[in-house]
Amino acid sequence: MVKLLIELLGYLRESAPLLTSLAVLTLLLVLLAKSIKKHSGLYYTLFAIPFVLVALPSLGKLFGIEIAGFVRVPFLGEIIRDYIHMGAFGHPLLIIIMYIGALEVRRPTVKKLMSIRKEMSIISGFAVFAHSLIRVMNSVPGAFRFFANNEEYMANTKVVSTLGAGFSSFSFLLGVFMLILFIPLWVTSFDAVRKRMGHVKWKKLQKWSYVLYVTLFIHAMAIQIGGMLNPRGGQTPKPAIETTVAQEKTTNRQRETARPVTNERRGETAKSEENSRQSTSAVKPATNGRMPTKGFADIKLNSQTKGYIHMISLILIYGSYLFLRIRKAKR
């Protein structure tokens, strides 16, 4: 049962990563709500560490100092990659913060999450800044070149679709605007800043969060569409040496097929088939006469299908938030 549950979670994370991360993170936040409220400083430090590990090599590069990255470190590297790409932690956390405002606070689960909304907002900033730092250094310059000098960009960048490159470049530039919008909202999440502003000014500033949510949806959709039109930045041709080897193998098979069949060759073929049957029977697992059962790992989805699932997830999440928000405003 436990193995089946682990396989199911792995499959859901592979096929619908945003929905899976959103569900798991919501459950963890509900369970840890009291701890986060009581030990907020500890959680800020804990979630700031991956950001620091991302920032050190990037800032060192600006000053000509080579600092080894931490992305390849086992387990730690996976956490850092999730921070950079926002998929498993940053984006789901922002969605939870967004959703809380559209739900009824009277519900116990919503009440728990509302009690730590400020802490979640502060924690989300570390993931957002780590993501933005990498994007600004690696992707934003190319996005500017796409719109400023499209011919030069297309000549020096391997992309399959110009339209896809346009979507991606637009999303990266929109991300800069989102960062500018996010910083004052994040800074005013701290109690000291909030008290100095006063409740009226703080409340007025927080209305910009709705603009942030709209741009977040557009940003995520544009990245997804651009990635689907240009999978992994485009397709590169296979090296010539690989093509030559493949052609030689094909030629050898054709020559082998064209050879006349002799008694000696028949014997070699029969012996080869017998050895093949023995090898197959040796590696075939014992099933006691039953057909082997298939698990979730045997269900394969191509990248295009995963892309459509992700876009549908985004539409459902943000569409349902809009519906709930409008319904709450009418009450």
Higher pLDDT, 192 or 265: 192
- Inter-residue contact 6 to 12 (CB < 8 Å): no
**Taking residues 114-133, what's their average pLDDT?**
95
Q: Indicate whether 266 pLDDT > 60.
A: no
Q: Please provide the size of the chain in residues.
A: 331
Higher pLDDT, 270 or 327: 327
**Taking residues 54-70, what's their average pLDDT?**
81
**Cα-based distances in Å from 205 to 113, 178, 182, 208, 212:** 22, 15, 11, 6, 12
Q: Indicate whether 137 pLDDT > 80.
A: yes
Higher pLDDT, 212 or 6: 212
Higher pLDDT, 286 or 156: 156
Q: Indicate whether 256 pLDDT > 80.
A: no
d(CA 296, CA 110): 32
Q: What is the pLDDT of residue 160?
A: 86
| Percentage of residues of the chain with pLDDT beyond 70 | 79
Q: Indicate whether 16 pLDDT > 70.
A: yes
Tokens of 322: 């809009």
Q: What is the pLDDT of residue 56?
A: 87
Q: Indicate whether 210 pLDDT > 70.
A: yes
Higher pLDDT, 106 or 180: 180
Least confident of 81-85, 133-137, 168-172, 298-302: 298-302
Q: What is the pLDDT of residue 44?
A: 96
* Residue owning tokens 């073929």: 269
Q: What is the pLDDT of residue 58?
A: 81
Query: Residue 275: which pLDDT band, with cuts at 50, 70 and 90?
Result: low
Tokens of 260: 């006349």
Q: Indicate whether 165 pLDDT > 50.
A: yes
Phi/psi class of residue 277: alpha, beta or left (left: φ > 0; alpha: ψ in -120 to 50)?
alpha
Q: Indicate whether 193 pLDDT > 60.
A: yes
- Inter-residue contact 34 to 116 (CB < 8 Å): no
Q: Which amino acid would we find at residue 128?
A: V
Dihedral sign for Cα 187, 192, 193, 197, please.
Answer: positive
**Taking residues 42-59, what's their average pLDDT?**
91
Whole-structure pTM value: 0.78
